[in-house]
Amino acid sequence: MMAPKKQQLSESKKVDDLKTSQKEVKDTTMTTNQGVKVNDTNNSLKAGERGSTLLEDFLLREKITSFDHERIPERIVHARGSGAHGIFELYENLEQFSKAGIFTDTSRKTPVFVRFSTVAGSKGSTDLARDVRGFAVKFYTEEGTWDLVGNNMPIFFIQDAMKFPDLIHSVKPEPNREIPQAASAHDTFYDFVSHATETLHNQIWLMSDRGIPRSYRMMEGFGIHTFRLINEKGDAHFVKFHWKPKLGVHSVTWDEAVKISGVDSDFHRRDLWDAIEAGQFPEWELGVQIVPEEDEFKFEFDLLDPTKLIPEELVPVKIIGKMTLNKNPENFFAETEQVAFLPGHIVPGIDFTNDPLLQGRLFSYRDTQLSRLGGPNFHQIPINRPVVDTHNNQRDGMMQMDVVKGQTAYFPNSLSGGCPHLAKMAEGAFTSYEERIDAKKIRTRSESFNDHFSQPALFYRSLSKWEQQHLTDAYTFELGKCKYTHIKERMLWVISQIDTDLAKKVATGLGLEIPKSIEQPINQAIGADADVEKHQPPKKKNYLDTAPSLSQANTKFESISTRQIAVLVADGFSMKNFNKMKDALEKEGAMVKLIAPHGGEVVSDEGIAHEVHEAIMTTESVLFDAIYIPGGTKAIEKLKKESKFIKFINEAFKHCKAIAVDEEGENLIDSSLVSNFKQDAAVLINKESIDFINAIAKHRNWDRMEVTKNIPV
């Protein structure tokens, strides 16, 4: 009877501490660094509600500048990354949409450099954190450098760049104790999310399996924002960019992610490097969703809202080209660390829209690179240099590496013959799209951005049962790490606006009730003097029952290329069975690794020695995609004596992976959990290699989840 009372006292103390903390900052009014009082720190100054952000917005520039310079020299966000070189090839001429050479010349092989990253963690954090992944591509085109700076999720957390510092401050380690690292499961993040409901769409993607990808090579990439394509006639079309991995979109389970972080925190970095070194070059196809300008307002959401996607069921993705990564960096710091991506790097034929998040990023990224890379000349670092010559009157500054000759550094001039002269449109000059602007300067956001529940609900409805279960578990874990009950209850109410059943399951896991209402407005991402009711999200709409393209259950299941297959062996293993399976797997591009009781060599039943890739004590099943046991009486008897081999099998089975055994290998799985589930579709006993290959290609047998979820390993 005493335990509940003790818990109540603990909760009461937390509330008292919070009230004391709030009292200390009571009646403090927000100001600029110059003492000017601020009444809106949520919206940038725009030319009309849906207009472009204005350069004169000193509040935005002060807030963003302060944020950009918080970390030196590590990136404030996306610090943990990996990169690779490659090429991009265009499938078909898109001159009806764009005059950009990269979209019109199918004979080109455009060099690229790609950097993948996590967002929240520091450089030393784990690859397997539940997080959004950066997916940034630098195209070294013949018309200049184009940077497509995106993520592995098609939307972002916030609608206006003014909120970016708040978002990142909420998800970074709490400043009073610098805990937790590379994790969103804490009070400050959910305090922010529950009050800024525009975050819910990206946040529910983060809670899904998309937040813990199997590999950089097995995740999608998105440009997030709506851009414009401009053709030679000056006609414009709206466009969203998609990267589709040739290997399909696959993830690991949360239990695997936790264990991989302990065994190999460089898992994704190593995976990318090893695949390229082995000649298994990662490939993605570039797709576009193109919307005519006259259709800008045909949807039940706003194209300029970066927290919204265009379902592929409404506007199909047109595949236009392929990117292949075929070379690892030669020096991590010089290339991967010093590469600088800027959304403002575009080429003729591509242009911006008035997306208020994009507008702020155009300022913020350059400002950040000035601090991180030591000055305005970061474009001269080899990895950032364009492949075309550059000529302008910009001079000197820190880290100047070019020796520019001549007397003049101004335009116009006569002493240098007027050079460098201005380019004409016919010569490929960049010209901005002529968009009519006739609006009042106003610090707000469009009411068309207010719908915060419909797309998160569509996403959840579109997931398979196993994806929904993983998402439910993620919410339960994350909110379970929060200490303040009022934050958990507010989040439960917000989730209930997305899906009642989801909220009930999470509430059960937390041991709480879903509140019938909340005292404060749902959305507080508005100014102090704003019309509160005007900016509250409406009830969710259902403009699509489901969007199958959003579910990983509908991804590609065609290839086992680069899949890691653990072969459990000891002295005396069956050479005949092993060779047959090895040849079949490697023909499909899989990577076969021998796991033995010890390092060094292991000898088959034919007396042939084989190199051991890993001793059982140095590895874990979570690093592999499937298990094969070739048999051999002597070998199986040895493996049965090593308890970690049984754990290895049990864990792989619990994680729904394919397991194949030949002959005496069945005796080993009889000592494991698998003995009770031999009828499982992905447990293959004395089957043909093609059956095992097909089971691996399906990634997991998720039907197994129901029978293994309560089995401890």
CB atoms inside a 10 Å sphere around CB 536 = 15
Spatial distance between the Cα atoms of 615 and 632, rounded to a whole number of angstroms: 19
Spatial distance between the Cα atoms of 81 and 132, rounded to a whole number of angstroms: 12
pLDDT at 1: 39
Identify whether residues 212 and 200 lie together within a single domain.
yes
Spatial distance between the Cα atoms of 623 and 566, rounded to a whole number of angstroms: 9
Identify whether residues 537 and 561 lie together within a single domain.
no
pLDDT tens per residue across span 16-74: 776 666 666 567 787 777 777 887 888 898 999 999 998 888 788 878 887 887 765 78
The sign of the dihedral angle between the CA atoms of 320, 326, 330, 336 is positive
pLDDT tens per residue across span 93-123: 999 999 999 999 999 999 999 999 999 999 9
CATH code where residue 103 lies = 2.40.180.10
Global confidence as pTM = 0.91
pLDDT at 23: 62
pLDDT tens per residue across span 146-171: 999 999 999 999 999 999 999 999 99
Q: Which of 369, 384, 399 is the last residue of a domain?
A: 384
Nearest Cα to Cα of residue 153 among 307, 285, 282, 323: 307
Residue 318: inside a domain, yes or no?
Answer: yes
Query: Strand pairing of 45-47 and 221-222?
Result: unpaired
SS3 state at 368? helix
SS3 state at 274? helix
Interaxial angle between packed helices 465-480 and 200-207, expressed in degrees from 0 to 180 and rounded to the nearest 10: 110
Q: What is the DSSP letter of 512?
A: -
pLDDT at 409: 85
pLDDT tens per residue across span 254-284: 999 999 999 999 999 999 999 999 999 999 9
- Say if CB 230 and CB 434 are below 8 A apart: no
What count of Cα atoms within 13 Å lies in the side-chain half-sphere of residue 31? 8
Average pLDDT in the chain: 93
Collect all residues with Cβ–Cβ distance below 8 Å to 38 and sequence separation of at least 6: 30, 31, 32, 59
Identify whether residues 227 and 167 lie together within a single domain.
yes
Residue 418: inside a domain, yes or no?
Answer: no
Identify whether residues 665 and 699 lie together within a single domain.
yes
Identify whether residues 529 and 566 lie together within a single domain.
no
Spatial distance between the Cα atoms of 129 and 268, rounded to a whole number of angstroms: 11
| C-alpha distances in Å from residue 682, one per residue of 49, 311, 563, 624, 689 | 55, 33, 16, 15, 12
Spatial distance between the Cα atoms of 16 and 32, rounded to a whole number of angstroms: 30
Higher-pLDDT residue of 27, 659: 659
- Residue whose token pair is 């940034």: 136
Catalytic residues: 78, 151
Interaxial angle between packed helices 633-640 and 643-654, expressed in degrees from 0 to 180 and rounded to the nearest 10: 90
CB atoms inside a 10 Å sphere around CB 640 = 16
Collect all residues with Cβ–Cβ distance below 8 Å to 527 and sequence separation of at least 6: 39, 40, 41, 42, 43, 443, 444
Spatial distance between the Cα atoms of 361 and 160, rounded to a whole number of angstroms: 10
pLDDT at 2: 44
pLDDT at 6: 47
Report the alpha-carbon angle 236-242-246, nearest 5: 140
Structure tokens at 508: 């059960």
Collect all residues with Cβ–Cβ distance below 8 Å to 535 and sequence separation of at least 6: 445, 447, 450, 523, 525, 526
Task: State the Rg of the chain over Cα.
Answer: 28
pLDDT at 11: 65
pLDDT of 10 above 80: no
| HEC letters along 176-232 | CCCECCCCCCCHHHHHHHHHCHHHHHHHHHHHCHHHCECCHHHCCEECCCCEEEECC
Interaxial angle between packed helices 689-697 and 575-587, expressed in degrees from 0 to 180 and rounded to the nearest 10: 40
Instruction: With cut-offs at 50, 70 and 90, classify the pLDDT of residue 424.
Output: confident
Residue 479: inside a domain, yes or no?
Answer: yes
Spatial distance between the Cα atoms of 669 and 675, rounded to a whole number of angstroms: 6
- Region 479-504: what's the mean pLDDT? 97
pLDDT of 393 above 90: no
Nearest Cα to Cα of residue 126 among 481, 644, 622, 592: 622
Spatial distance between the Cα atoms of 125 and 130, rounded to a whole number of angstroms: 11
Spatial distance between the Cα atoms of 92 and 130, rounded to a whole number of angstroms: 37
Spatial distance between the Cα atoms of 638 and 612, rounded to a whole number of angstroms: 15
Residue 30: inside a domain, yes or no?
Answer: no
Structural domain count of the chain: 3
CATH code where residue 611 lies = 3.40.50.880
Identify whether residues 326 and 472 lie together within a single domain.
no
pLDDT at 418: 85
Residue 26: inside a domain, yes or no?
Answer: no
SS3 state at 28? coil
Distinct helix (H) and strand (E) counts, the chain = 18, 20
Instruction: With cut-offs at 50, 70 and 90, classify the pLDDT of residue 3.
Output: very low
Q: What is the DSSP letter of 182?
A: T
Identify whether residues 492 and 598 lie together within a single domain.
no
Identify whether residues 611 and 700 lie together within a single domain.
yes
Structure tokens at 141: 């085109």
pLDDT at 437: 86
Spatial distance between the Cα atoms of 607 and 319, rounded to a whole number of angstroms: 52
Residue 113: inside a domain, yes or no?
Answer: yes
Identify whether residues 520 and 620 lie together within a single domain.
no
Q: Which of 534, 553, 572 is the last residue of a domain?
A: 553
Q: Which of 492, 526, 553 is the last residue of a domain?
A: 553
Identify whether residues 596 and 652 lie together within a single domain.
yes
Specify the range with the lowest mean pLDDT, choosing from 35-44, 451-460, 637-646, 667-676: 35-44
Higher-pLDDT residue of 698, 29: 698
| HEC letters along 401-437 | CCCCCCCCCCCCCCCCCCCCCCCCHHHCCCCCCCCCC
pLDDT of 404 above 90: no
Residue 436: inside a domain, yes or no?
Answer: no
685 - beta bridge partners?
A: 661
| C-alpha distances in Å from residue 603, one per residue of 142, 629, 637 | 56, 15, 15
Nearest Cα to Cα of residue 241 among 229, 228, 224, 218: 224
87 - beta bridge partners?
A: 111, 324
- Region 560-578: what's the mean pLDDT? 97
CATH code where residue 482 lies = 1.20.1370.20
- Region 537-541: what's the mean pLDDT? 94
Residue 171: inside a domain, yes or no?
Answer: yes
Identify whether residues 605 and 506 lie together within a single domain.
no
Domain span holding position 488: 452-553
Identify whether residues 215 and 321 lie together within a single domain.
yes
